[in-house]
């Protein structure tokens, strides 16, 4: 009898250990989440009606679709984004939704050089007629971008990067202008804490300051997936605001020379990933954020 009791006890102990091991493995397997959808909800100042910017991602942290929904809840814009087998962005179709009907407005094609670096972004109308070109020139620690070549509205932008591949400076000026705009980016580790802007045409100087929590920012992985392309491509894509991409932790406080302070309060899941947030200005709701994961 004593041997039987010991045998049963040993079996229960073995099963318990096995279950604990399985739980540990399962917990380890889901310890890292991948962003599936990110929504920014903003509100009309007059009516209070909500509008939405929805960003969809595949499991490789690539942005595949952007759906901008206007305050009427019907009209808006849809971007459908395509990649090649190497994971490079190749095309973005921009569709306008009018009275609930979606129609292609124009599209962007992305061309690469023999080193697989982005070389051109070309914009075409719905009929395939070329509208604009953006040319990209790569240097060792910087990228120069020419928009609207051979046009009086040509704009030249330069992007400088640190050895850690963080954006540290941008210089932008119109071709005919002698007065560029400089922006300097300062980081605390991998978190963006300040953008200092000097406009040499208006002599205007401004600063944007950011504070962060100590939790994982799932959108930072999206930026890291194609860092420089996301930064320079304000020509083709509706980019996410800098505070949602540029830091490895989540922005909790935003302060600007000319804007009111923004305070963001997050709700997290049991893995410390954000699942929702409220952004308030002077205690009033300004934006809502929601996160969905694979």
- Per residue in 79-127, pLDDT (tens digit) is 999 999 988 899 999 999 999 899 999 999 999 999 999 999 999 999 9
Q: Does residue 55 sit in helix, strand or coil? A: strand
CA distance 59 to 35: 8
pLDDT of residue 174: 80
**Would the pLDDT of 182 be above 80?**
yes
Helix (H) or strand (E) holding 274: strand 274-281
pLDDT value at residue 151? 57
Cα 90-92-96 angle, rounded to 5 deg = 170
> Which pLDDT does position 31 carry in this prediction?
75
How many percent of the chain have pLDDT more than 90?
Answer: 61
Per the prediction, the chain carries an average pLDDT of: 87
Helix, strand, coil share (%) of the chain residues, nearest 5:
15, 55, 30
pLDDT-derived band of residue 3, with 50, 70 and 90 as boundaries?
A: low
For residue 242, the model assigns a pLDDT of 79
> If 0-12 CB within 10 Å is exposed, 13-18 middle and 19+ buried, where does residue 91 land?
middle
The tens digit of pLDDT for each residue in 119-166 reads 999 999 999 999 888 899 999 889 998 887 555 678 889 999 988 888
Q: Residue 15: phi, psi to the nearest 5?
A: -65, -40
Task: Kindly state the DSSP code that residue 262 receives in the 8-state scheme.
Answer: E
pLDDT at 67: 94
Q: Answer yes or no: are the C-beta atoms of 23 and 15 closer than 8 Å.
A: no
pLDDT of amino acid 19:
57
**Can you tell me the distance from the alpha carbon of 159 to that of 3, in angstroms, rounded to the nearest whole number?**
76
What is the domain partition of the chain in residue ranges?
1-31, 32-293
Better-scored residue on pLDDT, 5 or 186:
186
**Which residues, including other chains, have CB under 8 Å from residue 167's CB and lie 6 or more apart?**
159, 160, 161, 185, 231, 246
**pLDDT higher than threshold 80 for residue 34:** yes
State the Cα–Cα distance between residues 184 and 207, nearest whole angstrom.
10
Encoded tokens for 226:
């194609």
* Dist CA 262 CA 208 (whole Å): 11
CA atoms within 13 A on the CB side of 149: 12
Instruction: Using CB atoms within 10 Å of the CB of residue 3, give its burial: 0 to 12 exposed, 13 to 18 middle, 19+ buried.
Output: exposed
CB 36 within 8 A of CB 294: yes
State both tokens at 119. 């070389």
Q: What is the pLDDT, as a whole number, of residue 269? A: 98
Cα–Cα distance measured from residue 108 to residue 60, given in angstroms and rounded to the nearest whole number: 22
Q: What is the DSSP letter of 192?
A: E
C-alpha separations of 82 from 41, 107, 217, 235 in Å = 25, 11, 25, 16
| pTM for this prediction | 0.84
Tokens, residue 282: 């002077």
d(CA 195, CA 241): 13
Fold of the domain spanning 32-293: Porin (2.40.160)
Average pLDDT over residues 218-226: 84
Nearest to 133 by CA among 124, 142, 141, 144: 124
**Which residue has better confidence, 290 or 152?**
290
25 in helix, strand or coil? helix
> What pLDDT, on the 0 to 100 scale, is given for residue 29?
57
């Amino acid at each position: 009898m004593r041997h039987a009791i010991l045998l049963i006890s040993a079996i229960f102990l073995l099963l318990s250990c096995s279950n604990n091991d399985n739980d540990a493995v399962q917990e380890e397997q889901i310890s890292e989440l991948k962003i599936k959808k990110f929504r920014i909800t903003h509100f009309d100042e007059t009516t209070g009606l909500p509008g939405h910017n929805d960003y969809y991602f595949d499991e490789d942290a690539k942005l595949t679709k952007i759906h901008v929904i206007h305050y009427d809840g019907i009209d808006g814009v849809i971007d459908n984004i395509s990649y090649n087998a190497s994971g490079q962005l190749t095309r973005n179709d921009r569709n306008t939704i009018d009275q609930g009907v979606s129609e292609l407005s124009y599209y962007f094609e992305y061309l690469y050089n023999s080193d697989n670096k982005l070389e051109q972004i070309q914009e075409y109308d719905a009929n395939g007629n070329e509208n604009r070109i953006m040319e990209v020139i790569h240097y060792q620690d910087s990228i120069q971008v020419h928009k609207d070549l051979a046009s009086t509205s040509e704009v030249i932008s330069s992007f400088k990067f640190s050895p850690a591949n963080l954006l540290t400076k941008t210089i932008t000026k119109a071709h005919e202008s002698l007065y560029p705009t400089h922006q300097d980016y300062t980081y605390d580790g991998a978190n963006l804490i300040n953008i200092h802007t000097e406009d040499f045409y208006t002599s205007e100087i401004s600063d944007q300051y950011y504070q962060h929590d100590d939790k994982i920012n799932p959108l930072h992985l999206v930026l890291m997936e194609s860092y420089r392309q996301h930064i320079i491509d304000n020509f083709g894509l509706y980019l996410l605001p800098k505070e949602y991409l540029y830091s490895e932790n989540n922005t909790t406080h935003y302060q600007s020379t000319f804007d009111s302070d923004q305070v963001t309060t997050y709700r997290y899941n049991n893995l410390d990933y954000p699942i929702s947030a409220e952004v308030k200005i002077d205690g009033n709701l300004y934006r809502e954020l929601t996160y969905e994961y694979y």
